[in-house]
Amino acid sequence: MYFSESPWRCGKFCFCQRQNVTSISYFAFMNKIILITGATSGIGKACATKFAAAKSDVIITGRRNERLDELKAQLENDYGINVLPLCFDVQDREAVNAAFANLPAQWQKIDVLINNAGLAIGRDSFEDADMNDWETMLNTNVHGLLYVSKAVLPYMLAQQKGHIVNMGSVAGKEVYEKGNVYCAGKFAVDAITKAMRIDLLKNNIKVTGIHPGAVETEFSVVRFKGDEVAAKAAYTGLTPLTASDIADTVFYCVNLPAHVCINDLVITCTQQAGTYYFYRKP
């Protein structure tokens, strides 16, 4: 089986041409290396699981080492693939550079980078918001994404192929009340995604922006600083997206033929339209 091209283009009448799309997907990812930042929870963890189930080897990152170790053990045991956990804070440029400069040789052929690590802290009006929260959001969601991308890109450039998926948000498409700097950071992610796509065209590197609406993860607990009641209220009357919904979407984008690139994808639950409009059932 030839893995470096999409199975749609393998040009042979093989298993993949006779089976359904799910079968094709699982063939295509065998032995690929997928790097997911922020894999200790939520969307990142769901992506790691999805790609591991498709027989990819995964590099998982986050700050909570014990969760990385647990996930490594679980994925290796469940799917028989290899997992490399890297524990660092994406805000720390030196730590990011050190993690990727010392990547073991067998992990250097990274096929896909999913820039997912991120957070919102606080939901306050501009005049009340805390400057430390703003700095943490910008340092994580914007600087962190840039540090990781710059550290990983040389491995993709060496192969002259790759796919970078940046986790944006509907907050990066429309500013909403009390969203201020979280929205600003996600607007930056949107712009960076477009800029990367343009500049990396010549290097055969795909760049995709995924922009979810409300997804029930630890996101709101972090945003409301541990207030579980406020976090839960964000989803009142809704059937929100799940982390698996987003992982499935990322998987779809990454699994397209070599000549096809989804540029930008906005995804909400059926009860949400944009950032302002929700239909909440009583």
Residues that are catalytic: 182
Contact positions with ligand NDP (CB under 6 A) in 7-46: 38-44
Q: Any residues with CB less than 8 A from the CB of 15 and at least 6 apart, and which? A: 23, 27
275 binds, among ligand NDP, ligand 8X3, none (CB under 5 to 8 A by kind): ligand 8X3
Question: Least distance from C-beta 193 to ligand NDP, angstroms?
Answer: 12
44 binds, among ligand 8X3, ligand NDP, none (CB under 5 to 8 A by kind): ligand NDP
Does 41 engage in binding with ligand 8X3 (CB under 6 A)?
Answer: no
Q: Any residues with CB less than 8 A from the CB of 10 and at least 6 apart, and which? A: 1, 2, 16
Interface stretch with ligand 8X3, choices 10-18, 131-139, 164-172, 248-256 (CB under 6 A):
164-172
DSSP 153-218: HHHHHHHT-EEEEEE--GGGTS--TTTHHHHHHHHHHHHHHHHHHHHTGGGTEEEEEEEE--B-SS
Q: Which is nearer to ligand NDP, 41 or 149 (CB)?
A: 41
Contact positions with ligand 8X3 (CB under 6 A) in 170-229: 170-171, 179, 213-214
**For residue 217, how far is the Cα from the chain centroid?**
14
Six token digits for residue 57: 């080897």
- Residue numbers at the binding site for ligand NDP (CB under 6 A): 38-44, 62-64, 89-91, 116-119, 140, 144, 167, 169, 212, 214-215, 217-219, 222, 243
